[in-house]
């Protein structure tokens, strides 16, 4: 798919790209049919990446599910409470409840793929070295 998109970009170049100006598309979240790519079994990215802070001062775990109260960890004012913060039992419970089939396109697709393939399945044979 990326080759096809590159060809379209080269052919139509709607933004008049040159050596000083380029447009990069985000395609890693999509399958060949532009549906959300589900190339992993579980969400791990919510342990290893960033979070967002909403306008109501809530720490949300997933930018693609922003606004969903089920994905909110706590208020930034409660963050130092070890029962509520990053790595807490609440954090783990939220991640355990995630059903990736209900997720929209996932910004952290590559993180989840790498974790499953490299860490869990050891496809890079880390133990070999
Ligand atoms: S969209 Fe779903 S799988 Fe992707 S990071 Fe968010 S919760 Fe995890």
Question: How far apart, in whole angstroms, are the C-alpha atoms of residue 40 and residue 80?
Answer: 32
Q: Which residues, given as ranges, of the chain have pLDDT below 70? A: 1-2, 129
60 lines ligand 1 (CB under 6 A): no
Q: Which residue's C-alpha comes closest to atom 6 of ligand 1? A: 62
Element containing residue 114 per DSSP (H, E): helix 109-114
64 lines ligand 1 (CB under 6 A): yes
In ligand 1, the atom with minimum distance to the C-alpha of 40 is 3
61 lines ligand 1 (CB under 6 A): no
The reported pLDDT for the residue numbered 129 is: 66
111 lines ligand 1 (CB under 6 A): no
Question: How far apart, in whole angstroms, are the C-alpha atoms of residue 9 and residue 104?
Answer: 26
38: number of Cβ within 10 Å: 14
The reported pLDDT for the residue numbered 44 is: 93
Question: How far apart, in whole angstroms, are the C-alpha atoms of residue 9 and residue 43?
Answer: 32
Contact assessment for residue 70 and residue 94, using Cβ atoms and an 8 Å cutoff: yes
Regarding pTM above 0.85, the answer is no
Q: Which residue's C-alpha comes closest to atom 1 of ligand 1? A: 106
């Amino acid at each position: 798919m990326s080759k096809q998109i590159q060809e379209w970009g080269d052919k139509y170049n709607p933004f008049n790209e040159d050596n000083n100006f380029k447009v990069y598309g985000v395609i890693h979240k999509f399958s060949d049919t532009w549906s959300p790519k589900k190339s992993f079994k579980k969400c791990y990215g919510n342990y290893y990446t960033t979070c967002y802070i909403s306008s109501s001062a809530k720490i949300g775990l997933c930018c693609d599910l922003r606004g969903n109260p089920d994905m909110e960890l706590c208020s930034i004012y409660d963050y130092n409470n070890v029962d509520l913060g990053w790595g807490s039992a609440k954090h783990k419970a939220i991640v355990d409840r995630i059903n990736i089939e209900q997720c929209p396109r996932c910004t952290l697709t590559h993180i989840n793929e790498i974790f499953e393939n490299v860490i869990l399945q050891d496809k890079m044979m880390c133990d070999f070295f």
